Amino acid sequence: MNILQINCVYGVGSTGNITRDLHQALLARGHRSAVLYGRGPLSADPHVARICPSWYGRAQGLTARVAGLPYGRCIRSTRHLLDRIHRIGPDVVHLQCLNGHFCNLYLLLEDLKQSGIPTVLTLHAEFPYTGGCSHAGPCSGWKEHCGVCVRTTPETTCLLGNRTAAGWRRLRGIYEGWNRLTVVGCSRWIARRAAASSALSGIPVTVIANGIDTTVFRPRRQEAADLHRALSIPPEERVVLFAAPAFSREKGFDLFLELARSCRGLPLRFLAAGGRCTGGPDNLTVLGHVSGREHMAVLYTAADALVLCSRQDNFPTVCLEAAACGTPVVGFSVGGVAETILPGLGTAVPPGDIPSMQRALLELPSPLPAAVERARVLWDCQRMAEDYLALYRAVTRQEVL
């Protein structure tokens, strides 16, 4: 089988790692696999190609701030992308995350519909069925239409006003009558949201959970013990880890700081990995950027718990990575977060409830080996690859899901 994946990045970030792991698993199974991606470092893999330079995406992003429709820009790079697709001649096109100003979402979808290529669209965010929002939050306008939008973000507003209605109508028109498209939610939560969207009416929606490389994300006890010594963490303190590519409000870093401050005087040591921060409490150590998945696996193993303070999230891979390293997760129950926390490997608490999160951290039992092994099987990228292969075979045979 000849499979083409398209994603915004490759080998970096959550969707970039998912795309790479799936690509390598397909090649290992004897399939032809290629990846086209939008931005980031060039890949040495001959089957992987970047579509446009980083400056192009930044320029297109600035244009969208003026004219709106952030997924309706990038004409030049999209023509290049479409040319590469048709030269590859795939049996299946698998669309991963298409944000980042590297392609025109509407032109790409319209071309795939007209060409009749079986297409799989994985929902890592909500913009494929909203007027532009990656995470619509409590808004439900996208179910029937967008336009009267109370959100003021770069995704929904521009100098020319709000153009979410135009974006939503264009998506609905493309999806209508597209009988070679299958939508995949990487969480049950987002699959339910997609099924409730009138824009996707009549499009089959299924669920395939994301996977991770469990040969990388595994317990690393000796290296974790070395890290404890390097950070002078006494054995009586529980280590609580926060990990995010950016310490943003969406990821709830302000709530994490509130949690750390509320725990001063308790036997808890807080670590933050991925960004920069000044003025944190004295029980917090900020580690900054962590390079390499192996180093992240050491951090997960060194922690007694990973905390997820996101205000909005779909199916965060940090939870899967931590569980595969034997570390339980305590997270706010938003989006599909609760689906990533298996029995015996943590708990979900009400969104924004800092006292409940504090109690959960203090009362968290040690994970049972059987629970860790179950997580390692369930979240393995090899399982993800088998699930997608079964779907690819079904869509090429035009089977009803």
Span 239-280, pLDDT tens digits: 999 999 889 999 999 999 999 999 999 999 999 999 888 889
Beta carbons of 139 and 151 less than 8 angstroms apart: yes
Distance CA 182, CA 118 (A): 8
Please report the pLDDT score of residue 61 as a whole number: 67
Q: List, for residues 170-192, the tens digit of each pLDDT value.
A: 999 999 999 999 999 999 999 99
Q: List, for residues 82-120, the tens digit of each pLDDT value.
A: 999 999 999 999 999 998 888 899 999 999 999 999 999
Please report the pLDDT score of residue 141 as a whole number: 82
In whole numbers, what is the pLDDT of the chain averaged over residues?
Answer: 92
Distance CA 205, CA 391 (A): 11
Beta carbons of 143 and 160 less than 8 angstroms apart: no
Domain ranges of the chain: 2-211+380-396, 221-378
Please report the pLDDT score of residue 207 as a whole number: 98
User: In this structure, are strands 92-95 and 119-123 parallel, antiparallel, or unpaired?
Assistant: parallel
Beta carbons of 118 and 146 less than 8 angstroms apart: no
Does 2-211+380-396 match 221-378 in CATH topology? Answer: yes
Distance CA 183, CA 94 (A): 10
* CA angle (224, 316, 216) in 5-degree steps: 40
Predicted confidence band at 152 (pLDDT cuts at 50, 70, 90)? low
Predicted confidence band at 158 (pLDDT cuts at 50, 70, 90)? low
Please report the pLDDT score of residue 115 as a whole number: 97
The topology (CATH level 3) of 221-378 is Rossmann fold (3.40.50)
Its pTM stands at: 0.93
Please report the pLDDT score of residue 400 as a whole number: 46
Beta carbons of 346 and 331 less than 8 angstroms apart: yes
Burial category of 234 from C-beta neighbours within 10 Å (exposed 0-12, middle 13-18, buried 19 and up): exposed
Q: How many CB atoms lie within 10 A of CB 245?
A: 14
Most confident of 50-54, 56-60, 169-173, 207-211: 207-211
Please report the pLDDT score of residue 75 as a whole number: 83
Q: List, for residues 283-326, the tens digit of each pLDDT value.
A: 999 999 998 999 999 999 999 999 999 999 999 999 999 999 99
The topology (CATH level 3) of 2-211+380-396 is Rossmann fold (3.40.50)
Q: Which amino acid is at 315?
A: F
Please report the pLDDT score of residue 55 as a whole number: 74
Q: Which residues contact 271 (CB under 8 A, 6 or more apart)?
A: 231, 239, 240, 241, 242, 284, 285, 286, 287, 299, 302, 303
Please report the pLDDT score of residue 370 as a whole number: 95
